[in-house]
Structure 1
């Protein structure tokens, strides 16, 4: 089985732009902000657990 002379891959080797650069940058920025928010939530939960474990249990 041979490839046709103009093709260099799956779809003829041509890549069409799917989205604009501004849209890609906006998606990347929102993913970065979401990852940072998750990191802050996990860090806050870990610190809260450490503080709660350090407190003496009152009777």
Structure 2
């Protein structure tokens, strides 16, 4: 069985889907979102530790 070159599969060069500026903007927004999520989780853990450490007022 002889395979003809370039007709199927991943032989050809990929076509650009988006511009470089758009790709960089998406990457930057995802990085900012990840940092924000880490900050929220850190603040939640710290505030829960502070709340647990406080004695109950009766």
- Same fold per TM (> 0.5)? yes
TM-score range relative to shorter protein: 0.7 to 0.9
TM-score norm. by structure 2 comes to: 0.87
TM-score norm. by structure 1 comes to: 0.86
1:30-45 correspondence runs (5 A): 30-45=29-44
Structure 1 consecutive aligned stretches of length 4 or more whose deviation exceeds 2 Å:
none
In structure 1, runs of 5+ residues without a counterpart are: none
RMSD of aligned alpha carbons: 1.8
Corresponding position of 1:20? 19
Q: Give the count of matched residue pairs.
A: 58
